[in-house]
């Protein structure tokens, strides 16, 4: 297998060793490492996830992985971002509809894939590890920007007054979502005795944003 192959080894087997090209990421090798990391997470969960296991699965040297991802959390963050790429792309025609759809997809993503446990682990490690915190903050800056675009689009449509406090609304949306994740309150809608609970909470947030504009 050549240096530029992105194939991942079959389950339980190590791939042939890849040649390092130094500090600059080789896209094919980086993709193979991320694919290996994602496969391990899917098969074993966080309990079986380690840099050693990823290196063996991807056929990469541990020094190469540590050069590109300084710790386990940084690698987990990139795997999480890769999985989440299409989750938040919504446009229902209304801001309320967009936020309800966004949160519904997000909770399902956290609940039905290893992503929820992965992201909880990243948040936990960020409390005591500066490198993990930096990776989390970088990721959140991008996600906040996207949710801010969703809210700005709603303001442009007239769903909220032009002077609505966009940064505060985005922060409240994130706070609501994270509270649900960290307390395990991300059950499917039909498991909730109040089917309209999520739309009602989104409506309350938007009414508050409109009233304080």
The tokens for 128 are 């005591």
| Per-residue pLDDT tens digits of the chain, which is 213 residues long | 433 333 334 444 455 444 444 456 788 889 999 999 999 988 888 888 999 999 999 999 999 999 999 888 889 988 888 877 767 788 999 999 999 999 999 999 999 888 898 899 889 989 998 888 988 998 899 889 999 999 999 999 999 999 999 999 999 999 999 999 999 988 776 554 445 688 999 999 999 999 988
- For the chain, what's the residue count? 213
CA distance 13 to 32: 14
Contact 138, 78 (CB under 8 A): no
Global pTM reads: 0.76
**Structural domains present in the chain:** 1-68 (1.10.10.60), 82-211 (1.10.357.10)
Tell me the angle at which helices 130-157 and 115-126 cross, rounded to the nearest 10 degrees.
Answer: 120
- Which long-range contacts (C-beta less than 8 Å, at least 24 apart) are formed by 61-65? 61/17, 61/18, 61/20, 63/20, 64/18, 64/20, 64/29, 65/33
């Amino acid at each position: 297998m050549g240096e530029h192959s992105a194939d991942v080894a079959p389950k339980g087997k190590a791939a042939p060793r890849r040649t390092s090209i130094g500090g600059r990421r080789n896209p094919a090798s980086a993709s193979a490492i991320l694919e290996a990391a994602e496969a391990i997470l899917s098969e074993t969960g966080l309990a079986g996830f380690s840099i050693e296991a990823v290196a063996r699965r991807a056929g990469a040297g541990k020094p190469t992985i540590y050069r590109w991802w300084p710790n386990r959390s940084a690698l987990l963050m990139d795997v999480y971002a890769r999985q989440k790429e299409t989750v938040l792309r919504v446009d229902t025609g209304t801001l309320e509809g967009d936020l309800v759809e966004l949160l519904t997809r997000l909770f399902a993503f956290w609940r039905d894939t290893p992503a929820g446990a992965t992201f909880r682990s990243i948040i936990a490690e960020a409390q005591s590890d500066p490198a993990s915190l930096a990776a989390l903050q970088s990721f959140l800056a991008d996600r906040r920007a996207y949710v801010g675009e969703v809210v700005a689009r709603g303001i442009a449509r007239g769903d909220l007054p032009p002077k609505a406090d966009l940064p505060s609304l985005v922060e409240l949306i994130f706070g609501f979502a994270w509270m649900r994740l960290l307390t395990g309150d991300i059950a499917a809608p039909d498991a909730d005795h109040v089917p309209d609970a999520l739309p009602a909470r989104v409506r309350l947030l938007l009414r508050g944003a409109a009233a304080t504009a």
